Amino acid sequence: MKTLQKIIAGIALTSALTFGYKANAQEQNVLVPTKVSTETSAINNKDVSGVPFQRVEAGNDAWSFKYDINMKLKPTDNPVNVGMFSLNKLYNKNNTTIGAEAFQVGKLNGKDTWFVDAWATKKYKDISLMIDAGLGFPTTKYIQTYAIAAFKHPKTSVSAAYYTVAPKDTRYYGYAAYHDNNIYGVVGNNVKTTFAAAGTYDLKYFGSYTFITHNRENGNIWMKSQTAFGNVNNNVFCVKSLDKLSDIFTIPLFQPVHLDPVSTKGDYAIKLEYKKTPSSDGEKKNCTSETELMIATSKTPVQIGLGVNTSYKNNSSISNVAIELYKDFKLGKKFTGSIEGRYNNRTKETTGYLKMSYNF
């Protein structure tokens, strides 16, 4: 918490100095953040209780800063913090944008890994190209390298990446998507995990998206399907968002992206989720799986989702109720946020997530 307070204080001090700096208006527009936001998660179950994640973020169109604090809740945990500073428009002319980023991964204790990278995007008519390349400097002598290339077209999206962690340890990632006539489909790979998804986009009264991941090494399977009716959230069911979701599952992220609950997808929504973990002895009967079916609505004063969560193991099953609540709020013209909570009565686990944002 002290680290978080220092970060907030640093942002406030930087903003105050910037406002007080006697520069022209254009320089102030570049330097002054237009938005400061925070994200906080909470968890309580039979094993742990606390605040595992906190994020502070500030920036504008020209630059952004984001710092994630991951807390240790169990003796076996070994979390690291992640900081990012990005210059988003070092060059921005003739449909070409060039930017640079720096990342810090660790506890600022001399054992951190530092990354620097540069990226460029180029638009030509309805085609967009992106290249991103970087270097990682861990405490070992070996310098890590990575690169990402992406191609966007009205009907296709392709993204590919590699990450060389150490000698003889290069990992490959990527996906290819096709989107036309309001239908989206994608297949991808994340090292040893296969990813596939299909859905709809830009439909006013219907939206659907289903993905499945399969770890080819340990056999883990994860499937999630969300379907919305009525006035659907086309910030979710759009090509840009679906490409971003595909990136999340195929291209490693320095900092995670939080996905809002199913009630935010439209007036009425249904979620079906399935996870399977094979047993270590190879016996099919000893594998563990979990299924959840939930219906939700955004038409109530507090958005709500009600479902049944079921666990299967050793040829037996246990089911109980799961509930999700979500509420966005606005205080004045500049302060906005959202709060969500989830309770699984089968596992007796409660989780929460809070977002707050102030726009200057």
pLDDT at 22: 38
* Segment 271-299 mean pLDDT: 87
* Dihedral-angle region of residue 110 (phi above 0 means left; psi in -120 to 50 means alpha; beta otherwise): left
Residue with tokens 């070409």: 96
Q: Does 6 have pLDDT greater than 90? A: no
237 CB burial (10 A radius; 0-12, 13-18, 19+): buried
Query: What's residue 252's pLDDT?
Result: 81
Tokens of 63: 């630059």
Cα–Cα distance for residue pair 141/23, rounded to 1 Å: 43
Q: What is the dihedral of CA 63, 67, 68, 69, to 10 degrees?
A: -170
Residue 281: predicted pLDDT: 65
On whether the CB atoms of residues 115 and 135 are closer than 8 A, the answer is yes
Q: Rounded to whole angstroms, how far apart are CA atoms 1 and 89?
A: 32
Mean pLDDT taken over the chain: 90
User: Over the stretch 177-223, which tens digit does the pLDDT of each residue have?
Assistant: 999 999 999 999 999 999 999 999 999 999 999 999 999 999 999 99
Indicate if the pLDDT at residue 282 is higher than 70. Answer: no
Statement: residue 27 has pLDDT above 70 = no
State how far Cα 312 lies from the chain centre. Answer: 29
pLDDT digits (tens, 9 = 90+) for 112-163: 999 999 999 999 999 999 999 999 999 888 999 999 999 999 999 999 999 9
Instruction: Tell me the average pLDDT across 57-82.
Output: 95
Q: Please name the residues in contact with 45: beta carbons below 8 A apart, sequence gap of 6 or more.
A: 347, 348, 349, 350
Per-residue H/E/C for the chain? CHHHHHHHHHHHHHHHHHHHCCCCHHHHHHHCCCEEEEEEEEEECCCCEEEEEEEEEEECCCEEEEEEEECCCCCCCCCCEEEEEEEEEEEEECCEEEEEEEEEEECCCCCCEEEEEEEEEEEECCEEEEEEEEEEECCCCCCEEEEEEEEECCCEEEEEEEEEEECCEEEEEEEEEEEECCEEEEEEEECCEEEEEEEECCCCCEEEEEEEEEECCCCCEEEEEEEEECCCCCCCCCHHHHHHHHHHHHCCCCCCCCCCCHHHHCCEEEEEEEEEECCCCCCHHHCEEEEEEEEEECCCCCEEEEEEEEEEECCEEEEEEEEEEEEEEEECCCEEEEEEEEEECCCCEEEEEEEEEEEC
Q: How far apart are the first and last CA of the chain?
A: 25
Calculate the dihedral angle through the C-alpha atoms of 229, 235, 237, 241, rounding to the nearest 10 degrees.
-160
Extract the tokens encoding 67.
């710092």
Q: What's the predicted TM-score (pTM) here?
A: 0.87
Q: Tell me: pLDDT of 23 over 80.
A: no
Residue 110, pLDDT score: 86
Mean pLDDT on 171-175: 96
Nearest partner of 233 among 258, 206, 212, judged by Cα: 206
Task: Determine contact, residues 102/84, Cβ cutoff 8 Å.
Answer: yes
Per-residue confidence band for 170, with pLDDT thresholds at 50, 70 and 90 = very high
